Chains A and B, each alone.
Chain A
Amino acid sequence: MAKVELHEIEERLNFWGFPHEHWHLGTIGNFPLDLNPRTIIVTWITMILVALFAVAATRNMDMKRPNKLQVMIEMIYDFVKGLVHDQIHDPVKAMSFLGIALTYFIFILFSNLLGLVPTLTSPTADLNTTVGLAICTFILFQYYGIRYRGGKHFKHYLEPYWFFLPINIVEDLSKPVTLSFRLYGNIYAGEVLILVILGLLPVVVDFAGGFIVPVVWLAYSIFVGCIQAFIFTMLSIVYVGQKVAEDH
């Protein structure tokens, strides 16, 4: 019963008329190419916002007198750069991963915050997005391991003894799973809770101060969104750092 109500509330909040049917792009073999329209559209919005932010911040950059946006993007850049350099000690390897880590951080941050805009949802509230990003991390740390350590990367799965192989494989496979479900759970739960609060409180209560509850939750969601973006970026950096570390 609660599920039905949630769907109803969601339907009432579907201000932009996002289609419910999957976009069907055809079939490859037995795999249907279906897209979640809502997720795809909010992802595009996120991408456009990120692009606008990046262009606005890096246009007319001044070395001596930075404007506000420039200071902001420089702070993010320095912050992520510090994280990467803390985990990956070789400057060349660190710089090669810096762009990816920065994109993780900015993209996930914008995605999480976009869900706080009424009538929109986060791209990261869809498991497809978070799993996609986590698979990127998985591919990346495998790639970095092979590129910088070669055969030792695979030999590592047999250490300390050969029968540790399944454990090591599970360990590596669990990384993207935990990454994606952590992010998805936090953001999706935040949005569901917003819906629940809205569903619990009749509109009349809003005028009597009932708006305070969802506003407090929104403020907390901003915090959660930033923290989750940070955690995802940080853990990705740590995983890659483990794979490129020489003494491991």
Chain B
Amino acid sequence: MLEFNATLLAQIFHFVVLLIFLRVVAYKPIARLLKERQDYIANNVAAAEEERAQAEKLKQQYLADLQKAREEAQGILAQATRAAELQAQDIIAAAKEEANRVKESALADIQREREKAVRELREQVAALSVLVAGKIIGRTITPEIQSQLVYDFIKEAGDLPC
């Protein structure tokens, strides 16, 4: 098989035939398919990128919303605390006032009772004085004189601290 003959030309011809055949049958479809796949993957990647960006944006938005909600809650909480404090102060103030009022009225009652007691005491003292004076003097004086005497006496006595 070492001598050259027309087989050489035939083999070149065979090779060219095979080349043309494969070019039409195999290479073109494969190249097209690979191109399609490349495009498909590129599209997928692009879509994924876009979706990721959108997700990122959504996430940022949600985070911002969350932050805002948190701040609002904080605000509401602070407001409620302030209101409660105010209310507590009001209640305390009202209680104090009530207590003062009760104290005042109690003091007034005491004052009144005291005055009443003093008045009663004066009357009794007057009566006693009349009795005693009548006994001492031994005579009966007219009620007018007596009253005048008693009154003077009481006046003197009333200026004394009692």
Spell out A's residues near B (CB within 8 Å).
22, 25, 31-36, 39-40, 43-44, 47, 50-51, 54-55, 57-58, 61, 63-64, 73-74, 77-78, 98-100, 102-103, 106-107, 123, 125-129, 131-133, 135-136, 188
- Find out whether the CB atom of B33 lies under 8 angstroms from the CB atom of A39: no
Option from A25, A31, A40, A127 in Cβ contact (under 8 Å) with B1: A127
- Encode B24-38 as 1/0 by CB contact (under 8 A) with A: 011101110110110
Q: Tell whether, in the assembled complex, residue A61 and residue B4 are in contact, meaning their CB atoms are under 8 Å apart.
A: no
Residue B22, interface by CB 8 Å: yes
The answer to whether residues A40 and B40 also contact, given A50-B22, A74-B30 and a CB cut-off of 8 A, is: no
Interface string of B1-37 (1 = CB under 8 A from A): 1101111111110110111011101110111011011
Contact between chains at A36 and B12 (CB < 8 Å): no
| Distance in angstroms between the alpha carbons of A98 and B11 in the assembled complex | 20
Residue of A nearest to B19 (CB): A103
Q: Is the interface of B mostly helix, strand, loop or mixed?
A: helix
Check if B6 sits within 8 Å of A133, measured CB to CB. no
22 contacts between A and B (CB under 8 A): A33-B5, A34-B6, A40-B10, A43-B14, A50-B22, A51-B21, A51-B25, A55-B25, A55-B26, A61-B30, A63-B40, A64-B40, A102-B22, A106-B22, A107-B18, A123-B11, A126-B7, A128-B5, A128-B7, A129-B7, A129-B11, A131-B8
Q: Is the CB of A132 within 8 A of B8?
A: yes
Shortest B30–chain A CB gap in Å is 5
Inside 8 A of A39's CB, which chain B residues have their CB?
A: 1, 7, 11
In the complex, how many residues of chain B place their beta carbon closer than 8 angstroms to a beta carbon of chain A?
30
Inter-subunit contact B19/A99 (CB<8 Å): yes
Nearest-neighbor residue (CB-CB) of B33 within chain A: A61
Tell me the complex Cα distance, A17–B40, Å: 53
Identify which of B7, B21, B23, B36 contacts A36 (C-beta below 8 A).
B7
**Given A36-B5, A73-B26, A125-B1, are A50 and B18 also a contact pair (CB < 8 Å)?**
yes
How near does chain B come to A38, taking the closest CB pair, in angstroms? 8
Structural contact, B6 and A32, CB atoms closer than 8 A? yes
Neighbouring A residues of B30 by C-beta, 8 Å: 58, 61, 73-74, 77
How far is B93's CA from A112's CA once the two chains are assembled, in angstroms? 110
Task: List A contacts of B29 (CB < 8 A).
Answer: 58, 61
Whole-angstrom CA separation of A123 from B152 in the bound complex: 166
